[in-house]
Amino acid sequence: MRVMSQPRLQNGSHALEANAASAGLALGCAYSSSDEYEAELIQARRKAGAYGSPHHRQALVALAVAAAGVLAVCLAIQ
């Protein structure tokens, strides 16, 4: 069996401590709760356009207002 020298043993010990610290960091999560994760996920999907553009909603509202106006005019004429 081979005996390790003191400096080599210290270097190995430091490397082991560094590996343990980085392994602990790898297991950590950037989010403190699932709600935080979901909010970040939804925000990223909105930026990517997954839920449609806000301009589409504005166009639909304008169309609904115009249709209601036309309907009101038609009912007023009768």
Give tens-digit pLDDT for 7-59: 554 556 677 777 766 665 555 677 788 898 899 999 998 888 777 766 777 88
- Looking at 1-78, which runs of residues are DSSP E strands? none
The pLDDT, as a whole number, for residue 15 is 72
Amino acid identity of residue 9, one-letter, is L
Whose structure tokens read 């990223």? 44
The pLDDT, as a whole number, for residue 12 is 65
The pLDDT, as a whole number, for residue 28 is 66
* Separation between Cα atoms, residue 6 and residue 76, nearest integer Å: 99
The pLDDT, as a whole number, for residue 65 is 96
Cβ–Cβ < 8 Å for 25, 17: no
> Is residue 67's pLDDT more than 80?
yes
Residue spans of the domains in the chain: they are: 6-77
